Chain A
């Protein structure tokens, strides 16, 4: 993206015209910019090294394999296993995606394809405002509103024949992976919707008109022209949403029940990587407890890093192909 900005470069002609002596300000500005940039780079580097250093101390106590594959987390008896949190993070994110993907696609299609712009634009704007609400507000609202509202839903499913499947089994406690997934759905809907909208909007008009001229209905046009065209962007949006869901802390902390255990049922309480760090770190006083939590942070960092890389790879492929939507 930087390399293609060549046309605007003031480099060579300016250098011909400019008397070096008249522009003392230039080196000053240049070095200020350089030093600030390098400072930012150095800070990021030192931070990564420091944090890695802290978490490595855990290895004196637990081997990396035992930490990553351990299913028991009992700081009181200094047993640290990361798996319950990795599991919780993965399960809640998957639930969120299952709900958010169809909802955001439907909302994006509604806004772009069906509603007149005068109605669609405010609706899209309102959905995007959802992203601005701080996560602590969602968490508190989740406890007060979503947990009680979903309790009968969870109970109904658990006591129906579906409850025989371990994934939907009772007993229902209230806070659960499922509730956390629903709250996460609300929180990632805006990013999914706006990215999907951008890529749907960039479908070339001529292709649409071609499909319609062949007698396709609106849905057939969407199905065979718009969606194939927008696929890359929609996928990138989904992965960006996934990366938000993985890292979401405070809102999940309120509604997941905070039990470090692995449960097959999505209606049972659990824990996620970010929420356990948030709730235990400040009071961690057992030997190696802070180091173990920082270790969880490193695991979380790596997970979200990989997801972000995947998102970037897809965006780049998509941009090269379509020169289309801006899906940062």
Chain B
């Protein structure tokens, strides 16, 4: 009798504990989601107030000007991300090929370790590095320096995903190219890369989504500019920089509104790229298991 009562009591306690933990987990999950909801809500409510197509295509005006836009930042972001990609994609894929396809032992490991090292560097320190590497040598801030800083942010992401992708090229395919006595450059360029192209694209898209949002590495490389500049040897603005500079002038209502509008634009771009990247990634995984 007694034993049964004890068992029932401990059973109650154990079930109670189980339920309590469940409740705690729900609270944790809700708290974790709360910031996303709040950020998006503020972005939409505040951002849409000052947002218009005009904002994207008008040149910047004075700090209190109501009609000034972010054309300088849009051009800067497009141009610096573009140049950054032109540097990071070939080098990233080369590093991946070097590690996976041309096994050169220690040399490959060192290259890969260097790329991994870069992945772990805080982005502000990347800014300092590029300052030392390029800005000091050129003698002035420039869009080029900003592009290289962004390239350095993107390089490890692209190298890593490409590496993983080359590794999952099915063995049958490799054997097929050998059986056909394909030279390696044909096998890589005409068989392997097309097979895993979507996966490599995933890496590139995620890298872009990361680079587009970075402020810290641009602060003392491309510096920012209040003029619409297309010449990358001059200081350039970018959307995060533009937003940063306006956000610092939070006391001016016009600047504040521009900061929100820039934030909305920025988050929209970043999220679109991010979601696109993940979708591509999932599709690759799915098709990877089918082949």
Contact = CB atoms under 8 A, between A and B. Distances in A.
Interface in B107-152: 108-112, 114-115, 117-118, 120-125, 128-133, 136
Contacts of A13: 178
A91 interface: no
A43 interface: yes
B122 A300 contact: yes
Interface stretch (A59-67, A131-139, A158-166): A131-139
Nearest to A9: B103
Task: Please classify how large the interface on chain B is, using the bins under 10, 10 to 19, 20 to 34, 35 or more.
Answer: 35 or more
B223 interface: yes
Interface residues of A, number: 97
A51 B129 contact: yes
A31 B198 CA distance: 26
A304 B120 CA distance: 7
Contacts of A8: 167, 169, 171, 174
A98 interface: no
B213 A123 contact: no
Contacts of A297: 124-125, 128
Interface stretch (A22-30, A72-80, A168-176, A203-211): A22-30
A181 B108 CA distance: 39
B124 A278 contact: yes
Contacts of A45: 114
Interface in A89-118: 102-107, 109-111, 113-114
Which DSSP category, helix, strand, loop or mixed, fits chain A's interface? helix
Which DSSP category, helix, strand, loop or mixed, fits chain B's interface? helix
Interface string A111-148: 10110000000010111011011111111110111000
A34 interface: yes
B115 A300 contact: no
A202 interface: no
A308 interface: yes
A220 B167 contact: no
B102 to A, nearest CB: 6
Interface of B: 14-15, 17-18, 21-22, 24-29, 31-33, 35-36, 38-39, 42-43, 46, 90-91, 94-95, 97-104, 108-112, 114-115, 117-118, 120-125, 128-133, 136, 155, 160, 167, 169, 171, 174, 177-179, 181, 183-189, 209, 212-216, 219-220, 223, 240, 243-244, 247, 250, 259-260, 263, 266-267, 270-271, 274-275, 278
Given A25-B183, A137-B243, A140-B243, 10 more contacts: A30-B184, A36-B91, A38-B111, A44-B114, A50-B133, A104-B28, A132-B271, A189-B35, A249-B122, A294-B128
The 6 A-B residue pairs with the shortest CB-CB distance in the complex, in nearest-first order:
A106-B28, A247-B122, A134-B213, A23-B183, A36-B94, A25-B185
12 contacts: A8-B167, A10-B187, A18-B183, A103-B31, A106-B28, A109-B21, A133-B270, A134-B270, A217-B18, A219-B21, A250-B216, A250-B244
